[in-house]
Amino acid sequence: MNKPIMAKATAVWLVDNTTLTFKQVADFCDLHELEVQGIADGDVAQGVKGFDPIANNQLTQDEIDKAEASPLYALKLKFNAAAVGEEKRRGPRYTPLSKRQDRPAAILWLVKFHPELTDGQVSKLVGTTKPTIQSIRERTHWNISNIQPVDPVALGLTKQSELDAAVQKANEKKAKEGSVMSDDERRKLVSTEQSLGMPEEPRIPTAISGLETFTLSDNPAEEKQEGDHLDADTLFNLPDDDDGDDDDKS
């Protein structure tokens, strides 16, 4: 752990019960120095009860005494063997309440434009559960008709680097399995920057211009001659009436 648990409550306790400088408290609790000053002035963390770091095995009194004696001394978090590996918590990440309503739109974007991502990868990217992802994949979500796909990076639910890393990992896994990918899938499996720099893919023409004007013949010269006469004037201009009859005569 790089910072104490309940960092702001710990800062409140340190401000109220020690003579540590604002910078020392801020560095230890991973807060801004002005935020710690706001705690001391009563403008920040109003109503937050202080969290004793000594009683909760995060600091020792000797460590606090050293820091109070020297303003340049940096507090060191007490080693706790039980907390080793705690930062590498598995499972979906925490999503703030203000952004939780955006998760279905982000999930729909991921399953639509990056179907190669597994449910586990999508879950880690946007902080959701696999049943929710499955319901959106199968379009059985209760609000699927009102959900519009939105890039999770634009919504602030994940970082572009994290999305690119997940897509690249899916690419490597698919390559190891030896499955064949289409051109569209291959373009999706690269990062955004690489995709923008890729050249245009050649497309197969739907028809070959001029082929429809020729007919099959044993004589190539006849094919060319007949093809030359199959123009608009030949097809739509009728020959003049040479029988001498006047259609206007009664």
pLDDT band at 21 (very low <50, low <70, confident <90, very high): very high
pLDDT band at 182 (very low <50, low <70, confident <90, very high): low
Overall average pLDDT of the 155-169 stretch: 88
Taking all residues of the chain, what is their mean pLDDT, rounded to a whole number? 75
pLDDT band at 117 (very low <50, low <70, confident <90, very high): very high
Which of 77, 89, 84, 21 lies closest to 53 in space, CA to CA? 77
Q: What angle do CA 56, 10, 40 make, to 5 degrees?
A: 150
pLDDT at 136 over 90: yes
HSE (CB half, 13 Å, CA atoms) of 95?
22
The per-residue pLDDT for 3 is 75
The per-residue pLDDT for 135 is 93
Alpha carbon of residue 120 to chain centroid: 14
Within 8 A by CB and 6+ apart from 129, the residues are 92, 123
